[in-house]
């Protein structure tokens, strides 16, 4: 009987140690992930702030903003998400063409959007873990307008820490683009190649 109690006690201690160790590892990992996500948004905020507050020509500003988003945004995941179910029937070459085209479309469109925030300043408020990564909350302070809340969703699913979605004042970028891309695809009778070509010509 004593042997059984001792064995059960040792087993309980072992399970407790394993559970505590696992919990500590998860907590540390989560903290590191939040830290990495915040560091990424700090880099983006600093670079965007410097660009939009400069007195450069519009074309130069847009080119520089495109470079920032190309460096820090996971446009491949964004592209596949916005394409929706159509990606399941597309060939690998069609998907590659679409991803390249979406990147051109996305970089140009959102570089112009952020260029409109000139004289603004981005500051980080907080961050929290979410199912697909980390959400970093920021605020864009504008001179003549009320501040905007911008949420940056960050993940390392691609092997690098990058943003995969942006929610600007409650408007979800990926959700909006998925609807818009879906309508464009439907208007082209489901022709993904035609859609990709069209995306390259949108300014």
Q: Report how far residue 153's alpha carbon sits from residue 38's, in angstroms, rounded to the nearest whole number.
A: 10
Determine the straight-line distance between the first and last CA of the chain, rounded to whole angstroms.
80
Name the pLDDT band for 203 (thresholds 50, 70, 90): low
Rounded to an integer, the average pLDDT of 89-98 is 95
Are 130 and 163 in contact by the 8 Å Cβ rule? The answer is no
Average pLDDT, the chain: 82
Q: What's the CATH number for 33-200?
A: 3.10.450.710
Name the pLDDT band for 8 (thresholds 50, 70, 90): very low
pLDDT at 196 over 90: yes
Q: What is the dihedral of CA 104, 47, 158, 33, to 10 degrees?
A: -150
Rounded to an integer, the average pLDDT of 67-80 is 94
What are the φ/ψ torsions at residue 115 (nearest 5 degrees)?
-65, -30
pLDDT tens digits for range 106-118: 999 988 888 777 6
pLDDT tens digits for range 33-66: 788 899 999 999 889 888 888 877 888 988 999 9
H/E stretch holding 155: strand 148-155
Q: What does the pLDDT read at residue 201?
A: 86
Name the pLDDT band for 198 (thresholds 50, 70, 90): very high
Rounded to an integer, the average pLDDT of 171-200 is 95
What are the φ/ψ torsions at residue 195 (nearest 5 degrees)?
-60, -45
* Most confident segment among 44-48, 49-53, 87-91, 129-133: 87-91
pLDDT at 100 over 80: yes
Look at 166 and 1; give whichever has higher pLDDT.
166
Lowest mean per-residue pLDDT among 13-27, 46-60, 69-83, 171-185: 13-27
């Amino acid at each position: 009987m004593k042997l059984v109690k001792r064995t059960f006690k040792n087993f309980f201690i072992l399970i407790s140690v394993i559970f505590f160790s696992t919990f500590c590892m998860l907590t540390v990992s989560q903290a590191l992930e939040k830290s990495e996500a915040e560091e990424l948004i700090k880099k983006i905020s600093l670079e965007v702030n410097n660009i939009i507050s400069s007195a450069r020509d519009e074309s130069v500003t847009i080119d520089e903003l495109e470079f920032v988003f190309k460096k820090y945004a996971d446009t491949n995941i964004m592209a596949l998400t916005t394409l929706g179910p159509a990606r399941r029937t597309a060939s690998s070459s069609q998907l590659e063409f679409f991803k390249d085209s979406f990147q051109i479309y996305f970089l140009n469109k959102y570089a112009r959007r952020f260029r409109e925030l000139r004289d603004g300043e981005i500051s980080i408020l907080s961050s929290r873990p979410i199912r697909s990564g980390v959400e970093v909350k920021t605020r864009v302070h504008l001179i003549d307008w009320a501040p905007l809340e911008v949420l940056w969703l960050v993940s390392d699913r691609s092997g690098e820490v990058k943003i995969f979605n942006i929610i600007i004042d409650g408007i979800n970028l990926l959700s909006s683009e998925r609807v818009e891309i879906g309508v464009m695809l439907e208007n082209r009778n489901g022709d993904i190649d035609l859609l990709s070509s069209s995306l390259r010509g949108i300014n």
